[in-house]
Amino acid sequence: MPTQHDETDPFAATEQLRAALTRAGIVFPSLGTDYGPSLGLVNLGRVHPDVAVRLALRLDKGNDA
């Protein structure tokens, strides 16, 4: 998938990601929107190593489909 920067609303993207992670049983406590000086970014924040491993396993499982 090519990298593309568009006009996606960072707040909507954050909530969409939060919902998908919740459905997968994964919580990023620091997930939020970092609306810096001209870039609206989704800040994934810090997570415990076990959360990172669970996320990696979910992503790998999705890639196997």
CA pair distance 15, 33, nearest whole angstrom = 9
Instruction: Taking residues 29-55, report their average pLDDT.
Output: 86
Number of continuous H segments (helices) and E segments (strands) in the chain: 2, 2
Handedness of CA 46, 35, 12, 3 (dihedral sign): negative
Residues in Cβ contact with 45 at an 8 Å cutoff, skipping those fewer than 6 apart: 28, 29, 30, 31, 32
- pLDDT at residue 1 in the model: 47
Report residue 40's pLDDT band, with 50, 70 and 90 as the boundaries. Answer: confident
